[in-house]
């Protein structure tokens, strides 16, 4: 549990906001090249799973939806509308009922 | 990568360890994380199980809320270890999944353009040559603690860990704007980062501040966080710092600053991130026709960090209880602790003041409680006299929770 101790000078400059760093040592930035993990999680099997897998995984991984609480069907319908209208999700109007039904079935609160 | 933590007299020591089980959990967190651990947050109605992940670059054990684009929450134990949140445990939140994973510091440029006399293209070297400033400030998601809203609402289902406190080092936005020369009549400044939407016609993530706010001398462009360059996922190489305001304004991987002569109409400023224009941004579920405004200043909050919900505390013995508080858009004036569900309150001792926008530690005691169930509460009052409310707010986006939190424990 022991922590390194901040040099006194650094503690002092943080007291007021924001304070000039008079004797600050020059700061150096280093280029980065990293990899981000992806997720291959899909929606649980059941009626409409193929439709939701085909339409709802382009912009965010399934966890965005699977970590949601149970919501009324009207709220799920509004969410799917928001994806289409605000975020420009390319979803066929004909697929919407199957997606909303799927969501209301796995996470419904009516 | 060890981050400097401030030397606090409230830091956990063996003498302070009281909730035995949670202290053991804390010590072994990183080991168990490697073995595929899960945590229960716990959110009313669930789902409350989340994976603890160590899969993200420059990040230690984090609560996985979403893999792509990443939403990573700071495990709450981290807040017990000091007022500065280590970079490798600092929460992560992106809106769109096209995030550059390669940044070359030599070729990176920050554009300053729009309603200015001299458009600029600044290299990182140019920025490093400007006068350096440093500031401790809390960065908190607008939807921190959204998972506790009842009725529940859609969004990132965070517990309390979508926040962190760091020493930000960088340059004043004002100095950068002055170099470009803002034209008379400018109204707002819009900030854009290198991240992009997955679908071409979707709204790119951008945020704007009013011109006077942008030039207040406090808003910064940070190139360092807790003495190190920013982790990629926290906005390397440059991040906007808007002290006292919610994180949505703290644009990451900032590469474009546009001075506007008209109010910004982009989706993320004009349509998203709005709150009811009511006290505590509170409305009744289902209420309609309420005027809304863009989310803005933060409000005070406080937390117990060394006692977990459900812990057992000893009867007939003194237990030290400690935690963190922040005042929102100004400093902490006082913190009060209640060992009995709000029936009585006692003023807590405050830790060192690291600046009015940062976390402040607090310490109090429970003296010889009787056996049975108890509810611990903590309340922060800020220097403007604003105190945390006793009842939770509600709004459809799950923004700005700051109710006095209750921690249920068993005594005996």
- Digit-by-digit pLDDT tens for chain B (412 residues) are 333 333 344 554 333 333 333 433 443 444 444 457 999 998 999 999 999 999 999 999 999 999 999 999 999 999 999 999 999 999 999 999 999 999 999 999 999 999 999 999 999 999 999 999 999 999 999 999 999 999 999 999 999 999 999 999 999 999 999 999 999 999 999 999 999 999 999 999 999 999 999 999 999 999 999 999 999 999 999 999 999 999 999 999 999 999 999 999 999 999 999 999 999 999 999 999 999 999 999 999 999 999 999 999 999 899 999 999 999 999 999 999 999 999 999 999 999 999 999 999 999 999 878 899 999 999 999 999 999 999 999 999 999 999 999 999 999 8
Residues of chain B with CATH 2.60.40.650: 301-411
Contacts of B64 in chain A (CB under 8 A): 63
DSSP one-letter code for B16:
G
A15 to chain B, any CB pair closer than 8 A? The answer is yes
Structure confidence at residue A24 as a pLDDT band (50, 70, 90): low
Q: How far is CA B302 from CA B150, B172, B294, B352, in A?
A: 20, 29, 24, 16
| Residue A95 belongs to some domain of the structure | yes
Domain B1-272 superfamily per CATH: Oxidoreductase, molybdopterin-binding domain (3.90.420.10)
Helices (H), B107-172: 124-129
Give strand pairing partners of B369. Answer: none
Q: Which of B406, B400, B352, B356 is nearest to B140 (CA)?
A: B400
Contacts of B97 in chain A (CB under 8 A): 59-60
CB contact under 8 A, A21 and B167: no
Fold classification of B301-411 (topology level): Immunoglobulin-like (2.60.40)
B291 to chain A, any CB pair closer than 8 A? The answer is no
Judged by DSSP in three states, B58 sits in: coil
pLDDT score recorded for residue A47: 97
∠ Cα B110 B250 B74 (to 5°): 125
| Residue A79 belongs to some domain of the structure | yes
Distance of alpha carbon A20 from alpha carbon B169, whole angstroms: 10
| Residue A76 belongs to some domain of the structure | yes
Distance of alpha carbon B359 from alpha carbon B351, whole angstroms: 10
Size of interface A-B (CB pairs under 8 A): 175
ipTM score of the complex? 0.90
User: Could you list the residue range(s) of the whole structural domain that residue A102 is in?
Assistant: 53-110
What CATH number does residue A77 fall under? 1.10.760.10
What percent helix, strand, coil does chain A show, rounded to 5? 40, 5, 55
Contacts of A6 in chain B (CB under 8 A): 4-7
pTM for this entry: 0.92
The beta-carbon neighbor of A37 closest among B56, B134, B227 is: B56
The beta-carbon neighbor of B6 closest among A6, A79, A90 is: A6
| Residue A10 belongs to some domain of the structure | no
* Farthest CA pair distance, chain B: 71
pLDDT score recorded for residue B182: 98
The residue among B6, B8, B45, B67 with the most chain A CBs within 10 A of its CB, best to mutate, is: B67
CB contact under 8 A, B5 and A3: yes
CB contact under 8 A, B45 and A70: yes
- Structurally, chain A folds into a number of domains equal to 1
Which residue's structure tokens are 């290198």?
B194
């Amino acid at each position: 549990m022991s922590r390194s101790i901040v040099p006194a000078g650094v503690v002092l400059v943080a007291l007021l906001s924001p304070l000039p760093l008079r004797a600050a040592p020059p700061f150096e930035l280093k280029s980065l090249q990293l990899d981000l993990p992806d997720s291959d999680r899909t929606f649980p099997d059941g009626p409409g799973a193929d439709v939701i897998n085909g339409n709802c995984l382009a912009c965010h991984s399934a966890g965005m939806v699977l970590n949601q609480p149970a919501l009324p069907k009207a709220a799920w319908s509004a969410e799917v509308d928001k994806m289409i209208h605000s975020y420009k999700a390319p979803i066929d109007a004909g697929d919407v009922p199957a997606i909303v039904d799927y969501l209301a079935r796995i996470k419904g609160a009516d | 990568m060890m981050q400097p933590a401030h030397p606090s007299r409230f830091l956990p020591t063996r003498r302070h360890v009281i909730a035995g089980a949670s202290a053991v959990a804390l010590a072994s967190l990183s080991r168990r994380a490697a073995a595929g651990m899960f945590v229960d947050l716990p959110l009313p109605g669930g789902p409350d199980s989340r994976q603890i992940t160590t899969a993200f670059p420059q990040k230690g054990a984090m609560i996985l809320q979403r893999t792509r684009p990443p939403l990573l929450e700071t495990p709450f134990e981290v807040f017990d270890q000091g007022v500065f949140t280590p970079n490798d445990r600092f929460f992560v939140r992106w809106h769109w999944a096209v995030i550059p994973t390669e940044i070359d510091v030599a070729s990176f440029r920050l554009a300053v353009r729009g309603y200015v006399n001299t458009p600029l293209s600044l290299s990182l070297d140019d920025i490093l040559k400007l006068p350096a400033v440093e500031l401790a400030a809390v960065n908190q998601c607008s939807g921190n603690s959204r998972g506790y809203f009842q009725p529940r609402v859609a969004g990132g289902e965070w517990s309390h860990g979508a926040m962190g406190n760091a020493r930000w080092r960088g340059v004043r936005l004002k100095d950068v704007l002055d170099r470009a020369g803002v034209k008379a009549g400018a109204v707002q400044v819009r900030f854009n980062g290198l991240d992009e939407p997955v679908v071409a016609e979707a709204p790119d993530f951008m945020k704007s501040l009013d011109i006077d706010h942008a030039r207040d001398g406090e808003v910064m462009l940070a190139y360092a966080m807790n003495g190190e360059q920013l982790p990629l996922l926290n906005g390397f190489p440059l991040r906007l710092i808007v002290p006292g305001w919610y994180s949505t304004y703290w644009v990451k991987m900032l590469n474009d600053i546009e001075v506007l002569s008209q109010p910004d109409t982009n989706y993320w400023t004009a349509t998203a991130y709005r709150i009811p224009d009511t006290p505590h941004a509170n409305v009744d579920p289902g209420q309609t026709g309420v005027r809304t405004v863009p989310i803005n200043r933060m409000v005070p909050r406080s937390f117990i960090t060394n006692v977990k919900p459900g812990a057992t505390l000893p009867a007939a013995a003194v237990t030290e209880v400690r935690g963190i508080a922040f005042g929102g858009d100004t400093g902490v004036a006082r913190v009060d602790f209640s060992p009995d569900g709000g029936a009585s309150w006692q003023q807590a001792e405050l830790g060192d003041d690291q600046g009015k926008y940062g976390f402040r530690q607090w310490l109090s005691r429970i003296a010889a409680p009787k056996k049975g169930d108890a509810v611990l509460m903590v309340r922060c009052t800020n220097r403007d006299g604003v105190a945390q409310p006793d009842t939770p707010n509600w709004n459809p986006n799950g923004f700005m929770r700051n109710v006095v939190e209750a921690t249920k424990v068993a005594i005996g």
